[in-house]
Copies of this chain bind each other. A is one copy, B any other.
Amino acid sequence: MPTLRLALCQVDPTVGDITGNAGMVRAWARRAADAGAQLALFPELMLTGYPVEDLVFRRSFVAASREALHRLAADLAADGLGDLPVLVGYLDADGPPQVSADAEPGKGARNAAALLHGGAVVATYFKHHLPNYGVFDEDRYFVSGDALTVVRIGGVDVALTICEDLWQAGGPFAVARQAGVGLVLNINGSPYELNKDDIRLPLVRRRAAEAGATIAYVNMVGGQDELVYDGDSMIVDANGTLLARAPQFVEHLLVHDVELPPAKEPVGGNEVADDMRIVRAKVSDILPPSPGDGVAVGGIIEPVADEAEVWQALVLGLRDYVDKNRFPSVVLGLSGGIDSAVSAALAVDALGPDRVVGVSLPSQHSSEHSRVDAEELAKRTGLHFRIEPIQPMVDTFLANMSLSGVTVENLQARVRGVILMALSNQEGHLVLTTGNKSELAVGYSTLYGDSVGGYNPVKDVWKTLIWRLAKWRNADAERRGETPPIPESSIGKPPSAELSPGQLDSDSLPEYDVLDPILIGYVDGDLGREGLVASGHDPAIVDRVLRMVDTAEYKRRQSAPGTKISMKAFGRDRRLPITNRWREDG
């Protein structure tokens, strides 16, 4: 049996940075070649980044992607890497993209992959199964491919597939079996979701059985607006054995030798299976010898605990958002409460303490422990700390206008927002807002107040998970002999907005251990009132919570992006009309 040394390049491209992304391919192809790889693969839409959304409709953008692909093939050869077959995702098109009812059937943009070898593009493949649910809108943007590309590399027949091709039954993997391939390459831009790594391995095993072939699954890593790609690249053989698995949330070169069956079918002919054409190409019948020594073993990384996984996802999402948008630093308000403490700890883990500014913004309602806890957090993490009292500004508004009740509460939050934005304007920091997902769901925040900010590290984190994360992060620090970043009293005290005397969250909301399960059922699970009541929740509390969620849509529309970690984050995959009279409770 031929042995092929695969290099799965789990890298972090940036949407739109075609030049930078192509440079990344050259650098990592060099590393792969140095490790003796005989085939290197890069993620879905590597050259453009993913998702490109409406950039697809820009002809100049599609043209730039195609030009970059051909230039990359030439550059790899000029780099002395022409012998290494490199599979790379890119954006292609035949005809204008579909933007109206007048679209020509079968014409449009393609989510494409190209195999580069000898300075040229030797084969291309167009994604067949297009996902159009959750964060995906690919039916809007792409036309489905109707051919499976099979390339002979070192005497092994290798099929090319892209992401969703793996998630749906039938299509490319079934056709790969009929084409008699030994290896299927699957390149991905597969975003992280809590526990998604538990789904992927069984799925890859199922498709390996369906294709009767080894699968090399490479995924993107890194943050892109609300999405974070977790990597988790892997190789699974035809029997379902996991051969190698990369760590999540870091760039990684996974190099592993796989034994593969020699090709049996002739190249050429007009094969069709399951309504897909089979298109064959050839790179080589015999492999060039691998310059690497011995046997390459990629190793198998075991998944980590939920809290560790979420923490890493949030850190990476935040770091890439700040760095890819070229912000030097971040600023956030520190109330002494748990949300801002966890957000600050995430920011320090993502960027280092020197790039994080924490601001205590006390009012006359701020408790002594709030100021102390904020200062303690700053001391433990080493972030830059300062104090900006809000009372003089609040008093001036109150002296010049006739305001009372909730208006005065919101006013305090808005003065804080103005101060943070002034610091952002003056010093160049990105403002972090720190409202958790439970708050966002029920609208328990001040629009243009505590919701002010360019990015929200905990936007998709339920309040009860915030507490779990805080405890995990502190325990993890202790395990390593480091200082736990989050003051224990920030974790233990009852949540309060501190906008009026003695105020507690529980004055306005059910306790979070009651609230969160209802929200999870309603938002993540699309359960209705009856389904929630049948799950054992108190009908009166269900009605109260659902009404709050239904009427908070407008605030969520005006909220900052933040890393998505669940099935349904507010934003692209939780879209509801603002004007909407539907109420579960009638």
1/0 contact trace for A17-39 toward B, CB 8 Å? Answer: 11010000000000000000000
Q: Determine the distance from Cα of A415 to Cα of B133 in the docked complex, in whole angstroms.
A: 41
> Could you say which interface size class chain A belongs to?
35 or more
| Interchain nearest-CB distance for A198 vs B (Å) | 15
Q: Which residue of chain B is the closest to A98 with respect to CB atoms?
A: B133
Indicate if the CB atoms of A15 and B577 lie closer than 8 Å. yes
The oligomer's copy count stands at 2
Q: Which residue of chain B is the closest to A389 with respect to CB atoms?
A: B400
| Interchain nearest-CB distance for A461 vs B (Å) | 20
In the assembled complex, A367 has its CB within 8 A of some CB on chain B? no
In the assembled complex, A403 has its CB within 8 A of some CB on chain B? yes
In the assembled complex, A512 has its CB within 8 A of some CB on chain B? no
Q: Determine the distance from Cα of A243 to Cα of B200 in the docked complex, in whole angstroms.
A: 59
Q: Determine the distance from Cα of A454 to Cα of B558 in the docked complex, in whole angstroms.
A: 9
Q: Which residue of chain B is the closest to A580 with respect to CB atoms?
A: B16
Interfacial chain B residues near A333, Cβ < 8 Å: none
Interfacial chain B residues near A576, Cβ < 8 Å: 53-55
Indicate if the CB atoms of B421 and A447 lie closer than 8 Å. yes
In the assembled complex, A354 has its CB within 8 A of some CB on chain B? no
Q: Determine the distance from Cα of A403 to Cα of B393 in the docked complex, in whole angstroms.
A: 15
Q: Determine the distance from Cα of A58 to Cα of B320 in the docked complex, in whole angstroms.
A: 34
| Interchain nearest-CB distance for A245 vs B (Å) | 22
Indicate if the CB atoms of B410 and A399 lie closer than 8 Å. no
Indicate if the CB atoms of B421 and A414 lie closer than 8 Å. yes
In the assembled complex, A59 has its CB within 8 A of some CB on chain B? yes
Q: Determine the distance from Cα of A576 to Cα of B583 in the docked complex, in whole angstroms.
A: 32
Q: Which residue of chain B is the closest to A390 with respect to CB atoms?
A: B400
Closest 5 CB pairs of A and B: A60-B528, A16-B582, A17-B581, A101-B167, A407-B425
Q: Identify 20 residue pairs between A and B in the complex whose beta-carbon atoms are under 8 Å apart, listed by A's number.
A: A48-B582, A55-B576, A55-B582, A59-B528, A61-B582, A64-B582, A100-B134, A101-B133, A137-B140, A225-B578, A324-B579, A392-B400, A393-B400, A396-B396, A397-B419, A397-B422, A404-B426, A411-B418, A417-B448, A448-B452
Q: Add 5 more A-B contacts to A55-B576, A61-B528 (CB < 8 A).
A: A51-B577, A99-B134, A392-B399, A411-B422, A414-B421
